[in-house]
Structure 1
Amino acid sequence: MPSTISRHLIVHGRVQGVYFRASCEDMARRLGVAGWVRNRDDGAVELVAQGSADAVEELVRWCHQGPRQASVTSVEVGEAEVDDRLSDFRTRY
């Protein structure tokens, strides 16, 4: 079984009100990535993605573009601690 990695992302640009969270959740579930995504008060979207390195890196690549309506200007990517309590991917409100 591949080792699990976890990444913390902050996505900047026109990423709220353009289905970024819902699209991110759909993509994460397709990739088998656990974690969460939420809007931030500063207009960015924040997420934690956890799973196999290949799946997480694929989601990170997707976040650099996002859904068609989004306009991503930058993505901050950092390591996060693996959280064994994460079993699926959800939108946080």
Structure 2
Amino acid sequence: MTAFLPGHLVMVDIPGKQLDAATADFLREHQIRAVCLFRKNLGSEDEIRALTSDLRAVMGERALIGIDQEGGSVIRATSVPQAPAAMAL
């Protein structure tokens, strides 16, 4: 029988552009496997690379790391190519 792991069913928000010890401990303790990044989490490409690497180290290689990137007037990641908004499609 497979254990029920509620932490695998939620996506959480984290503070800042770096993974602090308290947040890493929370992710480990609750076995969280998905994080959504917002503007407050996104810095330079090197900062994003370091943050996602740290998140994978804590949550595992199969972690889901998403960005709140809606398109149109909501653009969080300004350093990546922009797809057209849903209305334009």
Q: Tell which structure's C-alpha radius of gyration is larger.
A: 2
User: What TM-score, normalized to structure 1?
Assistant: 0.27
By relative contact order (CA 8 Å, sep 6+), the higher-ranking structure is: 1
Q: Of Structure 1 and Structure 2, which has the larger fraction of its residues in strand? A: 1
User: What TM-score, normalized to structure 2?
Assistant: 0.28
Q: Of Structure 1 and Structure 2, which has the larger fraction of its residues in helix? A: 2
